[in-house]
């Protein structure tokens, strides 16, 4: 910490004219322009909104069925390690249901001794835990397989977000219901129109899954499953069933559409890997990134986000010369397991073309692979679970573009 403080300071002292150069004359000019003295501001209010000057929004493709599809978090505007709930990515299959929590029930049935129907109010007063966790769609950055890369970090990597979640350990509910011997799967079903279903092995269900009702200090947002959803640490978003209404204990997987036709990995030999739930280590530079422009040669903070479904981020390496050399980035503490870790590196753009990328290493020792290594292992049939290293090109005029693979 001391060392990293000293290093930041050294960096800043080198910045010279970059930051400085301001004069008191400028001060007077600025204060007159920005705010008329004596003019009262806006009154205190019951519920605050963001500044009208802040325009970041989720992005989605125009389609005839906007109830099914994805909307992408504007990672290029992210700061810190959390995603604002209003900007959390979406991936829905039949739109967002409007659910009255007073009417909603979570039912636990199938191979249990005591079938339960639990109200939301009851769940909110059970023993709870809070965890900051990343959620990533299994299809995030899938276009990178075919090198049909999105032009910016939002459209290519924006199906990932991080929130503080609060809920009841699923294990407690299952123990209350009494799981019968032989029950090996939990079939989770949502209350959306398509009754989205996923199969979860009982071992994971008894480990660390949450039935979450809280997100970033308040109730879940409707787009994230209000009033109840599953939170499965480290597993692809789709399995974290939203608008949770039913958990059925069975002795076999359900082989639902979203675990057979979708979210599977078609391998080079034509066979598909299924139930590949866990998301591997990944990282992405958010500044500078595609579509942004550096105003000129200067010292900048190069920054981005790293995460892993396996646990903590241990290290992030940065290259600014297309992968020939790598240096360690500073990691924001605390590094929480299966959460965004913000990384940073002061970097001088000197007006020469630079090809930049980040490479995450997690606490299991897993190293984020190159795109080429991923393709060598898994071929080009897959649309899911891409976690290859991502390069951006900073051009001599400061514009930043995607690097065609």
CB of 402 to a second copy, least distance (A): 21
* Residue number, 206 or 267, with CB nearest to a second copy: 206
How far from 75 is each of 24, 57, 121, 318, 346, CA to CA, in Å?
36, 10, 35, 18, 19
Nearest to 307 by CA among 360, 358, 356, 357: 360
* Residue number, 57 or 383, with CB nearest to a second copy: 57
Dig out the tokens for 295 from the structure.
Answer: 């105003």
CB of 274 to a second copy, least distance (A): 27
In terms of Cβ atoms closer than 10 Å to its own Cβ (0-12, 13-18, 19+), residue 52 is exposed
CB of 17 to a second copy, least distance (A): 10
CB of 131 to a second copy, least distance (A): 9
CB of 380 to a second copy, least distance (A): 29
* Residue number, 41 or 270, with CB nearest to a second copy: 41
* Residue number, 129 or 377, with CB nearest to a second copy: 129
* Cα–Cα distance, 373 to 395 (Å, whole number): 27
* Residue number, 26 or 273, with CB nearest to a second copy: 26
* Cα–Cα distance, 39 to 61 (Å, whole number): 43
167-197 core/surface letters (b: 16 or more CB in 10 A; e: else): bbbbeebbebbebeeebbbbbbbbbbeeebb
* Residue number, 210 or 279, with CB nearest to a second copy: 210
* Cα–Cα distance, 106 to 123 (Å, whole number): 9
Dig out the tokens for 93 from the structure.
Answer: 């299959």
CB of 404 to a second copy, least distance (A): 27
């Amino acid at each position: 910490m001391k060392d990293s403080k000293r290093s930041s300071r050294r960096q800043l002292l080198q910045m010279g004219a970059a930051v400085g150069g301001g004069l008191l004359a400028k001060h007077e000019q600025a204060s007159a322009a920005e705010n008329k003295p004596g003019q009262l501001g806006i009154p205190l209010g019951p519920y605050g909104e963001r500044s009208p000057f802040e325009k970041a929004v989720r992005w989605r493709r125009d389609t005839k069925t906007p109830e099914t599809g994805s909307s992408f978090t504007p990672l290029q505007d992210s700061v810190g390690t959390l995603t604002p709930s209003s900007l959390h990515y979406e991936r829905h299959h039949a739109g967002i249901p409007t659910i009255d929590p007073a009417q909603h029930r979570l039912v636990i049935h199938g191979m249990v001794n005591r079938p339960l129907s639990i109200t939301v109010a009851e769940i909110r007063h059970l023993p709870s835990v809070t965890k900051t966790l990343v959620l990533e769609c299994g299809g995030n950055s899938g276009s990178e397989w075919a090198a049909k890369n999105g032009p910016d970090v939002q459209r290519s990597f924006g199906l990932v977000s991080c929130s503080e979640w609060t809920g009841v350990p699923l294990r407690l509910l299952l123990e209350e219901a009494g799981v019968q011997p032989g029950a090996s799967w939990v079939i989770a079903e949502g209350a959306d129109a398509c009754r989205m279903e996923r199969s979860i092995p009982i071992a994971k269900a008894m480990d660390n899954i949450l039935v979450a009702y809280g997100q970033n200090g308040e109730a879940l947002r409707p787009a994230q499953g209000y009033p109840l959803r599953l939170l499965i640490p480290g597993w692809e978003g789709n399995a974290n069933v939203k608008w949770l209404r039913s958990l059925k204990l069975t002795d076999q997987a359900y082989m639902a559409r979203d675990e057979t036709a979708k979210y599977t990995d078609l391998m080079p030999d034509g066979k598909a890997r299924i139930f590949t739930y866990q998301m591997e280590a990944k990282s992405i530079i958010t500044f500078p990134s595609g579509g942004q422009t550096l105003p000129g040669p200067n010292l900048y903070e190069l920054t981005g986000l790293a995460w892993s479904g396996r646990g903590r981020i241990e290290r992030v390496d940065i290259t600014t010369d297309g992968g020939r050399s790598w240096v360690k980035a500073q990691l924001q503490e605390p590094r929480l397991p299966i959460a965004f870790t913000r990384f940073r590196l002061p970097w001088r753009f000197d007006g020469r073309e630079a090809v930049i990328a980040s490479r995450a290493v997690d606490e299991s020792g897993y190293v984020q692979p190159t795109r080429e290594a991923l393709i060598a292992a898994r071929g080009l049939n897959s649309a899911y679970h891409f976690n290859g290293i991502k390069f951006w090109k900073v051009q001599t005029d400061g514009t930043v573009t995607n690097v065609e693979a």
